[in-house]
Amino acid sequence: MTDNSLTIGELSRRSGVAASALRYYERLGLIRSGRTGGNQRRYDRAELRRVAFIRIAQQVGVSLEEIRVALAALPESRTPTRADWARLSAHWRARLNERIAFMERLRDELTGCIGCGCLSLQRCRLYNPGDELAASGAGPRLLLPPE
């Protein structure tokens, strides 16, 4: 640890993540800390970037286990570079594009119909003769991604 290291409270304030969540991330191996002579946690400032990456990845729908595997690929001997982070995040670009497409479909179709096949709307743009969508499964079949 360097003299510029952060306490858990400082890391929490800087990252916007509760101290309890930071301790959980540490137990999962997502972030690392050192200890002082008094056994207090100290985090390198580089851990701020890891916490930011965790928060963003979760927003995209990446599980903590997937995040753990991805972060394990980062170099331990040095602070990750922009190229390291770009390589890591590129793996989730397709997932993010799928979520964007889903949200756009939802935005465009939700006001008219959610594709539920209920036949309750007299002027449904997504007319469902004979409740054909029921054979596709439960829920809003026209909007949900295929299972």
Check residue 49 and give its pLDDT: 87
Check residue 10 and give its pLDDT: 96
Q: Following CA atoms 15, 19, 24, 25 in sequence, which dihedral angle do they give, to the nearest 10 degrees?
A: 20
Which structural domains are found in the chain, ordered by start? 8-91 (1.10.1660.10), 96-136 (no CATH)
In degrees rounded to 5, what are phi and psi of residue 25? Answer: -55, -40
Check residue 123 and give its pLDDT: 46
- 10-residue mean pLDDT profile of the chain (147 residues): values are 83 95 95 90 91 87 88 77 82 82 78 54 51 68 65
Check residue 31 and give its pLDDT: 93
Phi-psi region of 119 (alpha: psi -120 to 50; beta: other; left: phi over 0): left
Say how many C-beta atoms besides its own lie within 10 A of residue 70's C-beta: 19
Beta bridge partners of 6: 43
